Amino acid sequence: MEQITDWQVVFLLLTVAIASAISLYAAGSSQGKGKFLCDDCRFNNDNDCLKAERPAAVVCTAYRSNSESREQ
């Protein structure tokens, strides 16, 4: 049976650390603040959004945060 070398352990630890850092960054920078995007979307009402996913969209190309300026 092959032995695990020190550099293999270091590589594995680096891989886990980088994957964790990427996951934390993605979670912090993703759209929406709640469980669903609609929770803080400016279009979350019957007049502005006719999507079937509302009010529980987790992916939506029309999502716009309530905090964004309406003039954009």
- The yes or no reply on residue 58 touching ligand SF4 (CB under 6 A) is no
- Hey, what are 72's tokens? 């954009």
CA distances from 71 to 4, 47, 64, 67 (A): 58, 19, 12, 12
Q: What are phi and psi of 13, to 5 degrees?
A: -65, -40
Neighbour count for residue 31 (Cβ, 10 Å): 13
How many residues line the site for ligand SF4 (CB under 6 A)? 13
Compare residues 18 and 56 and give the one whose CB is closer to ligand SF4: 56
Query: Cβ closer to ligand SF4: 12 or 55?
Result: 55
Q: What's the closest the beta carbon of residue 68 comes to ligand SF4, in angstroms? A: 12
Contacting residues toward ligand SF4, per CB under 6 A: 37-38, 41, 43-44, 49, 51, 53-54, 57, 60, 62-63
